[in-house]
Amino acid sequence: MARSSQADASVEAPPLTGLRVLDLTQFLSGPFGTQMLGDLGAQIIKLEPPQGDSSRSIPPHFIESDSLYYISINRNKKSVAVDIKTSAGIDLVRRLALGCDVVIENFRPGVLDRLGLKSSELRDRKPSLIWCSISGFGQDGPYRDKPAYDMIVQALSGGMSLTGEPGRPASRAGVPIGDLAAGMYAATAILAALHRRTLTGRGDFIDISMLDCQAAMLCYQGAYYLHSGKIPARQGSGHDSIPTYRGFATADGSEIVITANTERMWQGLCRALGLDQLADDPKFKTNRERYNNRAELWPILETAFRLRSAAEWVPLLESEAIPVGVVNTLDRVMVDPQIQHREMVMHLHSEDGREARVMGNPMVFKDARANEITYPPALGENTFDVLQDMLGMNAEELTELVKCGAIPPSVKTTPPVG
C-alpha cells in the first residue's frame, strides 16, 4: 500500500495536529484549501449559515440531502451552523475566532466588516491570529467590489485565451483551476505565516486574489509576451516552444500525448514512427529547425500516428524512452493501476451509513501519519459539541442561542441535557 505508514504506530502524528482553523468559506476555493489543511491534520471548524454552504445543493448528484460537489471538498471538518446576521451569532463567531490559530474566509471585501466581524479588531485582541481572506480580486484595487467566479477569473487572467484549439473559441479549463489554485495558494500562505509565527509570535493578514493567482500561473507564457510583445494564440494540446510536445489522434479514435523534447527523443520518435528519413532532414535537425518548420512537420507526424491504435503506440514509444500518455477518460483514470496503488480514490464512510467515493489526498509523508478521514459533516452536525468543547458552553446557554436565532433550530443535533 502506498500509504502504509498510516497504520504504523511508530510514525508521528499528522503534520498539522493541534492546529485549529475557523473556516468561514463556502463553495469551492476556500473549502478546497481548508480540506488540504484538514488532510494534514488540522482541526477544521466549518461555520455555515442556517441554509448551509451553497455547494450542498449543486446538482446533479446527491447522497441524501448533500451534493457530491459538497462532499468532494469537505471531508475532515466539523460543521457549526450560526446565523451571523444576528448580534448573538456575530459574538459567537468572534469567540470562536479567538479560540483558533487561523481564520479563513471568502466573503466579498468589506462584507464581514459591515456585519461587525473585523479582522483588525480580532487580530488586535489576539496578535498571533492568522487571518486569510480569499476574494476574486483582492482587498484593494479597481475590481475590489466585483463578484467573481472561477470562469470569470480564468477569462480575465488571459489563461482562458490560451485554452482551446487554434481558430476556435476560448475554453475554460476542464477543472476549475481559478478556484482550486486560490485554495492552494491560500493553504501555502497560511503555512508560511505559521512558520513566521513560530519565529516572531505574531500572526498576519493574508490577502489572496483569485485573479492574482491566475496571473501568476501564466508563468512562461506571460514572460514570453512581456519579452516579445507577441500575443500567444490558443495552445490546443501543443506547446509554444516544443513542436513535438503535443497530442495526436490515433487509429482507434483515442488520443495520446508525447513529450519528445530532446534531440535523443526526436531520434527515437523518428524510429518509432518509421520515419527515419526525418531524423537527418535539415529542416528538422534541431528543435529550433523543427519549431520554425512545425507547420510542415505536424501533418507528417499526424498521418503517421493515425496508422496504429493508442495501445500499440504506447509500448513502441516507451521502448525508445519517449514519455507518452493516453488521454484518459475518467472511467479509465479511476481504475488506473498507479492511481489505485497511490490510493487516490478515497472511500468515505459516515457513522450513520452514508458512503461516497471521492478523489484522495496527494500529500504523502514518510514519517507522519495521514490524518484519519471523516465523512463531510451534515449541516450543523457538530454545533453543540464544538461550542461546549471550545467555549465551555452549558446546555442552558446553548438552548438560549437557539431561542434567539443565533443557532438555527434545524441543526442536526439538539442541545445536551443538564
Give the closest residue to 113 by CA, choosing from 137, 130, 133. 133
The partner residues of 103 in beta bridges, in order of sequence, read 22, 131
Q: Is 162 helix (H, G, I), strand (E, B) or coil?
A: helix
Give the closest residue to 50 by CA, choosing from 354, 363, 289, 406. 406
Burial code of 6-20, b = ≥16 C-beta within 10 A, e = fewer? beeeebeebbbeebe
Q: What is the CA radius of gyration of the chain?
A: 26
Which residues lie closer than 8 Å to 138 by C-beta, 6 or more apart? 109, 144, 207, 208, 209, 211, 212
Helix or strand (DSSP H, E) at 386: helix 383-391
Grid coordinates given for 327: 488521454
Q: Distance between alpha carbon 132 and the CA centroid of its chain, in Å? A: 16
83 is known as an active-site residue = no
Give the closest residue to 28 by CA, choosing from 63, 69, 59, 57. 69
Question: How far is residue 54's CA from residue 70's CA, in Å, rounded to a whole number?
Answer: 9
Question: How far is residue 22's CA from residue 202's CA, in Å, rounded to a whole number?
Answer: 18
- Residue pair 192/204 in contact by the 8 Å Cβ criterion: no
Grid coordinates given for 261: 523534447
> How many DSSP H helices and E strands does the chain contain?
18, 13
Helix or strand (DSSP H, E) at 105: strand 102-105
Grid coordinates given for 403: 431561542
Question: Which is catalytic among the residues 83, 101, 150, 179?
Answer: 179
Q: How far is CA 135 from CA 24, 72, 82, 141, in A?
A: 12, 21, 22, 12
- Which are the catalytic amino acids? 179
